[in-house]
Amino acid sequence: MLIRKRKGWEIPEREATPESVYCRRREILLGAGFLGLEGLVPAAEGKRPLYPAKRNPEFTLDRPVTEEWAATGYNNFYEFDPQDKQAVKDKVGSFVISPWKMEVTGLVHKPKTFDLDDLLDMFPLEERLYRMRCVEAWSMAAPWTGFPFSNLVKLVEPKAEAKYVRFWSASKPKEMPGMRSTPWYPWPFFEGLRMDEAMNPLTMMVTGVYGKPLPKQNGAPVRIVTPWKYGYKSPKSIVKIEFVTKEPPTFWNKLQSSEYGFYSNVNPHKPHPRWSQASEKVIPNMERRPTLLYNGYEKYVAGLYNGKEF
């Protein structure tokens, strides 16, 4: 549900209410009528608006936020089009994203299948400005909305043997023309993170961008974002998450292990076998900028590694 940008005076209780309460949209909208907000919220359901979520000021950028038309019009989502990034947005029309179930299973004490609506009610949403770097060397910066993935991990209570997390994207060939045109790919798209990477405060479960629900081409209705890694470590349209003991296989590693490792941390000093990673091209104008180690997130993630995991 989209609403116009509110002015500060319109929701004084926003300041008076703890964030955790404010963002739970099934909370009764106390005083909404008094404040004249009936037209802005689905009062009949007693829900609060999810978007736009309050921006977390901790995450700042060294560059402008990519314009929305560019970030939602230039996409890697091979299930829809494995060649033309600008065509993905035009091929997602048949993709059904509601209802949506996401199963969380494996080595956990409390496995659970979430309905997307329930997931949205579970944790307060926040907006974060993150840089994003594709292994192909294009980059952008987007205002993602979601919650720390660690919130979900804690909720399902991983067992001590759980050392890695596996992710599976949706597999709906009837709705995904790129899957049909590339039957030789090992569909569905699958990815993974080490447990400490999954628990890192940077790792976000994302449901929105630009103050609205995620567009389909950006991974609706729910994806992961790991901004210190190349883009393919941020799987889109997730249907299943599994906690496992061993390092899981990943889609691009399975296809070409010499070019795409499990860690895939952004590193200007480690060239891709077929191109340099020393600089990146910022969409949409493709002006060059130097690539940053861990995409500029060294202070958050360098402690996870011994310096060799790239």
| Contacts to ligand MTE by CB under 6 A | 75-79, 132, 134, 169, 189, 218-219, 231-232, 234-237
Q: Which does 267 bind (CB under 5 to 8 A by kind): Mo ion, ligand MTE, none?
A: none
Burial grade of 168 (CB within 10 A; 0-12, 13-18, 19 or more): buried
Q: Within 13 Å, how many C-alpha atoms sit on residue 183's CB side?
A: 2
- State in angstroms the smallest separation of the CB of 96 from ligand MTE: 16
What is the Cα–Cα distance from 189 to 187, expressed in whole angstroms?
A: 5
- Report if residue 52 touches Mo ion, rule: CB under 5 A: no
- Report if residue 116 touches Mo ion, rule: CB under 5 A: no
Question: Which SS3 state, helix, strand or coil, does residue 14 take?
Answer: helix
For tokens 């979520």, name the residue.
53
Considering only 36-44, 104-112, 193-201, 223-231, which stretch makes contact with Mo ion by CB under 5 A? 223-231
Q: Which is nearer to Mo ion, 56 or 257 (CB)?
A: 257
Interface with Mo ion (CB under 5 A), residue from 132, 134, 137, 193: 134
- Report if residue 226 touches Mo ion, rule: CB under 5 A: no
Q: Which does 126 bind (CB under 5 to 8 A by kind): ligand MTE, Mo ion, none?
A: none
What is the Cα–Cα distance from 207 to 20, expressed in whole angstroms?
A: 17
Torsion sign, CA atoms 98, 69, 225, 93: positive
- State in angstroms the smallest separation of the CB of 191 from ligand MTE: 7
Q: Within 13 Å, how many C-alpha atoms sit on residue 274's CB side?
A: 7
Backbone angles phi, psi at 58, to 5 degrees: -65, -30
Q: Which does 139 bind (CB under 5 to 8 A by kind): ligand MTE, Mo ion, none?
A: none
Q: What is the DSSP string of 98-136?
A: SS-EEEEEESBSS-EEEEHHHHHHHS--EEEEEEEE-TT
Q: Which does 203 bind (CB under 5 to 8 A by kind): ligand MTE, Mo ion, none?
A: none
Q: Which is nearer to ligand MTE, 158 or 221 (CB)?
A: 221
Q: Which residues contact 136 (CB under 8 A, 6 or more apart)?
A: 76
Q: Which residue is nearest to ligand MTE (CB)?
A: 231
Instruction: Name which of residues 67 to 86 contact Mo ion (CB under 5 A).
Output: 76
How many degrees, rounded to 5, is the angle at CA 134 between CA 78 and CA 81? Answer: 15
Considering only 131-139, 175-183, 254-262, 292-300, which stretch makes contact with Mo ion by CB under 5 A? 131-139
Considering only 114-122, 126-134, 159-167, 299-307, which stretch makes contact with Mo ion by CB under 5 A? 126-134
The DSSP letter of residue 216 is: G
The DSSP letter of residue 263 is: S
Q: Which is nearer to ligand MTE, 28 or 255 (CB)?
A: 255
Q: Which is nearer to ligand MTE, 200 or 234 (CB)?
A: 234
- State in angstroms the smallest separation of the CB of 277 from Mo ion: 12
What is the Cα–Cα distance from 220 to 133, expressed in whole angstroms?
A: 19
Residue numbers of the site for Mo ion (CB under 5 A)? 76, 134, 231-232
